[in-house]
Structure 1
Amino acid sequence: MAYSLRRYREGDAEPLHALTLAAIAQIGPAAYSREQVAVWASRHGSPGRIRERVANGHSIYVAADERGLPVAFALLEQDGHLDQLYCHPDHSRRELADQLLALAETEAGTRGIARLYTEASELARPAFERCGYSITHRRDFEIDGVAIHNYAMEKRLG
């Protein structure tokens, strides 16, 4: 299957929200318990939240299938924080995460951002490592009383 990379478009919010929930529900259990997956998914409110993030100046980079439908995305905040990186389970393991991270890095470079950083799940960590991010520390925390973890990671640019 051929994919194209592009920026967020009007109408993408619903498919991005749906693919986020599908990725968490279907891929999440490979590294997290049922309870952890449930609380993780609970933090991803609605398509309206995605539209709000774009309206606030955050950039969303989309990998689209041959029909132009989003199958993966990365969300870059203005300060270099990569807040989200999700791929629909039917399209995982096709280097889409690597391509999206490269696109976000290029954009960050044009904006003069010197450092990209994220909090990567156990599952996203390998993609970030492949793209040159380093772990600064493991983050252990709770969501609604459920213990979960991810990794603070960063990459210096330039």
Structure 2
Amino acid sequence: MSGALTIRVAVESDLPALRTLMTLSIDHGQAAVLTPEQVAASRAVMGLDTQLVRDGTYFVVEEEGMPVGCGGWSRRATLYGGDHSTALRDPALLDPVTDAARIRAMYTHPGHVRRGIGRMILDHCERAAGAEGFAAVELMGTAGGVPLYVACGYMPVERADAEVDGVVVPLTRMRKPLRAMA
């Protein structure tokens, strides 16, 4: 029997556990849809963006005090990538009137998939972005994440594959309008 899932804002002391969770998610979660070379290459474009934690817009889902999922949203222009992917980073603040908020760094522990963790994080992020006046959200979906995002109302905007040392990592830019948050 599984325990109750809770969600809270991530804090600096969560970083080591979140890095471990992300590694497991990338290595095991993407293995079903990517080649081993693509999984290895995806580490160069995926990972933890500590700016989200500092901004208070990154969340951890726990079961009995153990992290089983994480993800967040951002009011900054960076669409995807971790601290190490400096070429992708743009800390400029978005304008809620004209820009879409960003959904960022969604990961689920491979032993806890298909339990609603991704939907829980998306809902939490969408509500928070809507409460700050954003009318839409965008994200960069991995091959493993796209089915979840489509099921949650995200529409593909464009393929935006990343190439790392000659290995193509399939990525899809996706967007979702938000209903007015009351």
Kindly provide the amino acid, as one letter, of the partner of residue 23 in structure 1.
S
Deviation at 1:138, TM superposition (A): 1.9
Q: Residue 17 of structure 1 contacts residue 50 of structure 1 at CA under 8 Å; is this kept in 2? A: no
Deviation at 1:87, TM superposition (A): 0.3
Gaps of 5+ in 1: none
| Runs of 4 or more above 3 Å deviation | 42-45, 49-53
Superposed CA RMSD in Å reads: 1.6
Equivalences for 1:49-128 in 2 at 5 Å?
50-55=49-54, 57=55, 59-66=57-64, 68-78=65-75, 79=94, 80-128=101-149
Query: Is 1:133 the counterpart of 2:132 in the alignment?
Result: no
- Tell me how many residue pairs correspond in the alignment: 153
Kindly provide the amino acid, as one letter, of the partner of residue 136 in structure 1.
V
Give the distance between the partners of 2:44 and 2:23, measured in 1 at CA: 9
TM-score (norm 1): 0.89
Give the distance between the partners of 2:39 and 2:66, measured in 1 at CA: 25
Q: Residue 11 of structure 2 contacts residue 53 of structure 2 at CA under 8 Å; is this kept in 1? A: no
Q: Residue 9 of structure 2 contacts residue 57 of structure 2 at CA under 8 Å; is this kept in 1? A: yes
Aligned identity (percent) is 29
Gaps of 5+ in 2: 76-93, 95-100
Give the distance between the partners of 1:95 and 1:119, measured in 2 at CA: 20
Q: Residue 108 of structure 2 contacts residue 117 of structure 2 at CA under 8 Å; is this kept in 1? A: yes
TM-score (norm 2): 0.78
Give the corresponding residue for 2:27: 25
Query: Is 1:148 the counterpart of 2:145 in the alignment?
Result: no
Deviation at 1:122, TM superposition (A): 1.1
Deviation at 1:140, TM superposition (A): 2.6
Deviation at 1:75, TM superposition (A): 2.1
